[in-house]
Structure 1
Amino acid sequence: MTKLSLSQVLASSDRLNGMLQFPVPPNWMQGRTTYGGFSSALLLAAARNAVDVLPPLRSALINFTAPIGSPPLIETEVLRNGRNVTTINTRASIEGNTAALGTFTFGKAQDSHVAFEHPAKAEIQPEITEHYFPPDLPKLPIAFLENFDVRLIDGARPFAGAERGYVKVWARHNDADMRDRIEGLIAIADLLPPAIFPTLKKPGNNSSMNWIFNVLSEDIHTRDGWWLMEHQLTAGHDGYSSQVMRMWNTDGDLIVDGMQSVIIFV
């Protein structure tokens, strides 16, 4: 199959028996399944297609239950379409088997005196930050990474035997059409390898089991598409790890606050 940008994928959906189906091009794969952010973006696109007018996305719960190696069929169910909040379930299936589940909550802004911030400290500008992957690297380790520009700020790359599971980067879509879309935000938010990887000394298989995140602003714009991203390992035992994942815009405003469980076969 021909390589496609995410905007091309989203524009190429088919409707079959009331369900949406999107292509799964090779440049969005990681091993035998699609990249989790890509799968989540497809679920979100299907949810947004289920209701004509929706308020902004506020939170999501994603479960990755099986590999998505071919185009899934995505069905949607509107759990509630209320005055302030709408909640939509999505299910991606392949040959009748569930491959991913997503529950998305959309909500109108509320009048409130409550305002707490978690700003990011100032960082060196992304354009002059070192590349996460050396420019002379003959081939990226995973296919889907070719869709992003990633710059390393702090922490270690995978399999460095580091003392802490932590990494901070600047990242943006190479596809400029996805830099100001909510599907693009979700597609990039799961970009980095598991936060436990910097502590390992050799590669090993892994699989994200779930992803829970909140979107803290209706304004998902950032300068030239750059997002400040931080992944931090919380704990890891018995082959499972828990990590916190955050994203700020170039003004230092926290936009996405998330958490993920990853199974590690090491």
Structure 2
Amino acid sequence: MTIASLLEPVTGQPGPARLTHAADWMQGRTLYGGASALVAYTMATRAFADLPPLRAGQIAFVAPVGEEIALSAEIIRQGRNVTQVRSEIISDGKVALSAFWLFAEGREANALQPAPPPENWPGPPEDTQEVTHSFAPSFVAKNFELRHGQTRGDDRGATVRRWARLTEAHDLDPVSKLVLMGDVMPPGAMRVMQRQGSISSINWSFNVLDPESRSRDGWYLAENASQHAAAGYSSERLRLWDADGRQVLDGIQCVAVFG
């Protein structure tokens, strides 16, 4: 099942939609977070033509997203350079996902500060070993190829880092691909859990650093790192770099840690 098949029911018109090809993207009872965010993003871009490039997104994962949903999108404010759009996924008559998107035209730069390359660069993906999917959710095994992004034996702390790329041929635009892949790694808190338990993303806020990113052979280095974990929650930093070490996405996330 292709990602295009999942997005086909998203026409840009508000109202009911049935995601008939959602099975390969499910994570337990709900659609994988990157896929559900992409559904909401696609709703926004198909509802309103000629939007500027996406610069930032704020996603609230409120409730499980299944096959039977309803979609909505509205422009909150539209200025000369910036357009702000809210889109939502409704399930069983209640909000299951609420997203706020910031689209903005580029301007002449008055500040220049390139993002630094990743610490402990693992080398290009083609030089690293493939990761087996024995412990990964089924949607990862069906849709992604993973390679190691951390040196074995090193103290990885509360960080999960992997090279990742989609296994299917697709025609996603660069930003849609970043939205889909930006949440693919499990939380870094997984590495410091004291006992087995489930983990659930509550929100995700990110900035798009390069809306035209087209990484070599589709590879991106994805990292989730817990900045602070206590009281059943973890504050995570999520980052994506292209195959040449250029950061293209920077985000944060609150994760519930159960058990």
Could you tell me the TM-score, scaled by structure 1's length?
0.88
Q: 1:190 aligns with which of 183, 186, 190?
A: 183
Q: 1:30 aligns with which of 23, 27, 34?
A: 27
Deviation at 1:11, TM superposition (A): 2.6
Match of 1:95 in 2: 92
Point out where structure 1 has 5 or more consecutive residues left out of the alignment. 157-161
1:228 aligned to 2:221?
yes
1:142 aligned to 2:137?
yes
Q: How does 1:169-180 map to 2 (within 5 A)?
A: 169-178=162-171, 180=173
1:39 aligned to 2:40?
no
Point out where structure 2 has 5 or more consecutive residues left out of the alignment. none
Deviation at 1:8, TM superposition (A): 1.8
Letter of the structure 2 residue corresponding to residue 92 of structure 1: I
Deviation at 1:131, TM superposition (A): 2.1
SS in 2 for 1:133: coil
1:199 aligned to 2:195?
no
Determine if contact 2:22/2:66 at 8 Å carries over to the other structure: no
How much identity, in percent, do the aligned residues show? 31
- Count of aligned positions: 253
Could you tell me the TM-score, scaled by structure 2's length?
0.90
Letter of the structure 2 residue corresponding to residue 188 of structure 1: M
Cα 1:83/1:38, change in 2 over 3 Å:
same
Match of 1:164 in 2: 157
Taking only aligned residues, the RMSD between alpha carbons, in angstroms, comes to 2.1
Deviation at 1:127, TM superposition (A): 2.1
Instruction: Supply the distance in 2 between the matched residues of 1:61 and 1:213 (Cα, whole angstroms).
Output: 7
Q: How does 1:71-110 map to 2 (within 5 A)?
A: 71-110=68-107
Hey, which bits of structure 1, 4+ residues long, moved more than 4 A? none
Q: 2:206 aligns with which of 197, 200, 213?
A: 213
Instruction: Supply the distance in 2 between the matched residues of 1:142 and 1:239 (Cα, whole angstroms).
Output: 22
Instruction: Supply the distance in 1 between the matched residues of 2:16 and 2:77 (Cα, whole angstroms).
Output: 20
Match of 1:159 in 2: none
Match of 2:3 in 1: 6
Over residues 182-211 of structure 1, what are the superposed CA-to-partner deviations in whole Å (9 max), with x where a residue is unaligned?
A: 222111110011110012254311211100
Over residues 90-134 of structure 1, what are the superposed CA-to-partner deviations in whole Å (9 max), with x where a residue is unaligned?
A: 111012111000000000001123111123255322123122226
Over residues 20-57 of structure 1, what are the superposed CA-to-partner deviations in whole Å (9 max), with x where a residue is unaligned?
A: 62515211011111110000000000011121101100
SS in 2 for 1:151: strand
Q: 2:17 aligns with which of 10, 21, 28?
A: 21
